[in-house]
Structure 1
């Protein structure tokens, strides 16, 4: 039997191996600007920017970073939602030979401080409304400059005039920042003349383009070092998988945030590489998404299960025409079969599940979009140039079909390693395989199935949540003696966060009080949705809390509730 049986399943339109150009990521923006100078690259809330405008704006931003003292390899953080500024900043940083550090705008001061210190970021780009949070964090980090922008800066008239009042109503304030000292205004940078393109000495195989933060059972998030080659390879693979798409003619719906590597590859990089228009939305709101699809007719729609579920459950769904949608790749969490089938009926397009992780830029597997077989319950087959195997937990050797082991990956999209963590990097690779931490099996045709995660990572609504980080916060509460956090089944989010708490003798605290405490230190999606107070927690003989026992209890409850339903 071939050790790559999936290659026999490939349709004629998808090659098993690809050719990768020896170019840095930013080179593809220039190519699209030359090829499609006056074609819309970005549509944002009624305003459009051409490829030429995005390219020239990125050049301005790169030149300004150089003036601020940015040197090759320096890290620049982007703390923005999906908006034109996030695209311009991303490519500008790369043009200036910096390293992008994508950061979640919902992070608290505590989370932001950790990531900025770990990455050693020198400059951060953020929104005016986030500026107070950033300003409080900066003195505890190596950040020397804050570049501030506002949503209204790229809104069309009259939305740009109305937006400040909307912002004040929503957030209770309008933040004003002066363009002086180490505070810089994005709009002032964009008033400058377009500079000459700067020379680059990029080694695409070795130079890091992106620090993508992820985590695991070892504690706080780690910076995944993704090179220019990693990102371009995975984008080219995505392009090959979508072989029926029409370069330069597709419209890509950009709901997935760019600080999530899946959104960055399948929306940002693929759109730029192919010369397609991105329709960007700064946040997921079901009604806004439906109106956007109905009016602007996107054809490609990468997403996560929670997004598709939210759309399908919207009360007035029938009011909207979704027939423009042709292809959807779902990632970040398991895609329920009933959601896939219902979404395809509603749109007439194709929705398939994929698989990957931050360490692989991120996609490694997917089902075929337009071709058979499409296997229910499977995450699909490996992408071109991607090797995958089920490895024995005892020996690390590849197993036979239908045997359960750990999924291992090899390929040009596999990370360089973890930032400043050589030991973690070494432990993640074995015999050349990247160990995913996921247990699964492969069938005789080469389709892969994920059975269970070896890691304790919780995936809720497509976001990775790391139990220890939440536990560390809850342990700081004066009433908490012991706590353990687990992911439990949730019909909407895939999983949701539950905390089991043992209180100190004589102390009391309510669920609401714990919830308010957690919200001060954690992004909203990490805060436990459920709390259970116990006299004691299950432990081993040496006192280690048995997380798995609690997870099994929850699964049993879930199964019993399903039977009753």
Structure 2
């Protein structure tokens, strides 16, 4: 394994790649290409700009930007200046954004002009010195000021060789920030991306996960740049029409998706034509059902496999080996990665079912300024995933749910059932309820509510009231909507009076923590 102890991400992925193939397209955005040479020049100018406004070694910079060239330029420019970029989805509300600021404590926030008004209160938070407006459609403050700076190709390291930070999704309470070092993505390229995905010089990559998720940051930015490939970027949500338009425009050879997006694409007539250039599809985010595999292969003729990873580890670390894929399995560990199943007391077990722990050189070693959570998850070089797995006689691993009760509904889509349950108890006549993940069409996870109903309306009307209350509460989050509503006279309880979820028919899904 190559020694990356002195590596610098901007140097390795941007400047060295530009020297190797300056004229080749690195970024493809809205019908235009940005060459590696132009990207390197822009990154060097942004490095100069961030140094000028006071970003120095170890300073965090929050990136509230969609996937666009400005995100990439700012990300690597901050790293070159010794700062630590912390990407965050532009779809978060102001409360979530404020929580992220409280954890990351950035001195600078870069925000997309379309979200600037919504996030304006962040400027008043302690420690925030500057809010910079950027734009993907026309030059704004960041783009204009950066171009006025001289290109500075020098690089600085943050303390402890930290390069960037990503927020973990799906956790309860305050968000957890995971700091990663320069070497982590480079090690992941050598152990996962190169041997298992097989990136090639000149590949064109299309991805469902966004760059603020580790799954997207690796597969659709760091790894392609390392290989001399091009990445397709788009600011919109990755629905079927957006993906097909991007694919028809740029003819991708690698497609990184998740089951929910695959199911949507399979319902569109133009998918076969759009995906005709793809030689490999990689899925993650939730278990990949056999029906989706068969339908995708039949429609496109391309291979597809499932994978598993977490933000704490840095990227994917479990994949099937060629010819050894089984439906529902994420295969086994990649080279250089150790995994073990442990019992509820944290002891290694030879049983076929247990909580998965992992040890690999690309893993983080703590949460940012969160000692209690760090001590629980990062132990003696091992990282606990809080996911349970089944191991078959051939050493293949199958996700079997979360240690906790959170429900996984696709890449980066988590639902805390308590939030929905609290809403449902406000429906007249509902005395108790439980919300679970269950298997819907194509093996995708959907939400099901089981209600103890004591009202005067019939159950059909009560079910519609329950479902409509959820739709009205979260009109823009269809993953929270109820697909099924069932009724029972009572719910099973533990000895302490809590609802015993494990005794209720349902299914919770495993976490892929890069949050696509």
User: SS in structure 2 opposite 1:101?
Assistant: strand
For 1:378, the equivalent position in structure 2 comes to 329
3-state SS, counterpart of residue 360 of structure 1:
coil
Give distance in 1, aligned partners of 2:257 and 2:111: 24
Superposed CA deviations along residues 455-475 of structure 1, whole A, max 9, x for unmatched, are 323221212415178369959
Structure 1 residue 93: Cα displacement: 1.4
Cα offset for 1:209? 2.1
Match of 1:388 among 330, 339, 352: 339
Structure 1, unmatched stretches of 5+, are 1-16, 155-183, 557-565
In the alignment, is the contact (CA less than 8 A) between 1:219 and 1:466 conserved in 2? no
Structure 2 unaligned segments of length 5 or more: list them: 456-461, 509-516
* Alignment CA distance shift 1:47-1:216 (3 Å): closer
Where does residue 249 of structure 1 map in the other structure? 202
Q: Distance in 1 between matches of 2:421 and 2:81?
A: 37
After superposition, the Cα gap between the structure-2 partners of 1:197 and 1:388, relative to the gap in structure 1 and judged at 3 Å, is same
Question: Residues 101 and 54 (structure 1 numbering): CA distance in 2 closer, same or farther, change over 3 Å?
Answer: same
Q: Residue by residue, what CA displacement relative to the aligned partner does 1:397-446 show, whole Å, maximum 9, x if unpaired?
A: 2426xx21111100012112111111111111445431111112333443
Q: What's the C-alpha RMSD, in Å, of the aligned pairs?
A: 3.3
In the other structure, the counterpart of 2:459 is none
Query: How far, CA to CA, are the matches of 1:210 and 1:483 in structure 2?
Result: 41
Equivalent residue of 1:132, what SS? coil
Indicate whether 1:278 and 2:198 are aligned: no
Residue 17 of structure 2 contacts residue 226 of structure 2 at CA under 8 Å; is this kept in 1?
yes
Mapped partners of 1:553, 1:429: distance in 2:
33
TM superposition shift of 1:501: 8.1
Match of 2:127 among 119, 142, 152: 142
Larger deviation, residues 31-40 vs 279-288 = 279-288
Written as runs of structure 1 = structure 2, the 5 A alignment for 1:345-424 is 345-368=298-321, 371-394=322-345, 396-399=347-350, 403-424=352-373
Q: Equivalent of 2:7, from 23, 33, 40?
A: 23
Residue 451 (str. 1) matches residue 400 (str. 2): yes
Matched, 1:98 2:90: no
Deviations 1:59-110 (A, max 9, x none): 2222222222222111111112211111111111111111121111111111
1:265-299, CA deviations, whole angstroms, 9 ceiling, x for partnerless residues?
11110011111111112231313322332342211
Distance of aligned partners of 1:453 and 1:252 in 2 relative to their CA distance in 1, 3 Å threshold: same
> TM-score if structure 2 supplies the norm length?
0.86
Matched ranges for 1:123-202 at <5 A: 123-153=108-138, 185-202=141-158
Secondary structure class of the residue paired with 1:126: strand
Question: How far apart, in 1, do the equivalents of 2:467 and 2:349 lie?
Answer: 47
Q: What is the CA deviation profile of residues 156-185 of structure 1, one whole-angstrom value per residue up to 9, with x for unaligned ones?
A: xxxxxxxxxxxxxxxxxxxxxxxxxxxx71
Task: Classify 1:393/1:346 alpha carbon distance in 2 versus 1 (closer, same or farther; 3 Å).
Answer: same
Give the structure-1-normalised TM-score. Answer: 0.79
Cα deviation digits, residues 9-46 of structure 1 (max 9, x gap): xxxxxxxx555463021112111111111211011011
> Residue 560 of structure 1 corresponds to which residue in structure 2?
none
Q: Secondary structure at the match of 2:209?
A: coil
Give the drift of 1:333: 1.0
| Match in the other structure for 2:513 | none
Match of 2:384 in 1: 435
The 1:492/1:141 distance shift into structure 2, 3 A limit, reads farther
- Cα distance, 1:515–1:372 mapped onto 2, change above 3 Å: closer
State which of 441, 454, 460 in structure 2 corresponds to 1:491.
Answer: 441
**Distance in 2 between residues matched to 1:294 and 1:530, nearest whole Å:** 33
Q: Contact 1:499–1:528 at 8 Å: present in 2 too?
A: no
> How far off is 1:372 after superposition?
2.1
* Count of aligned positions: 497
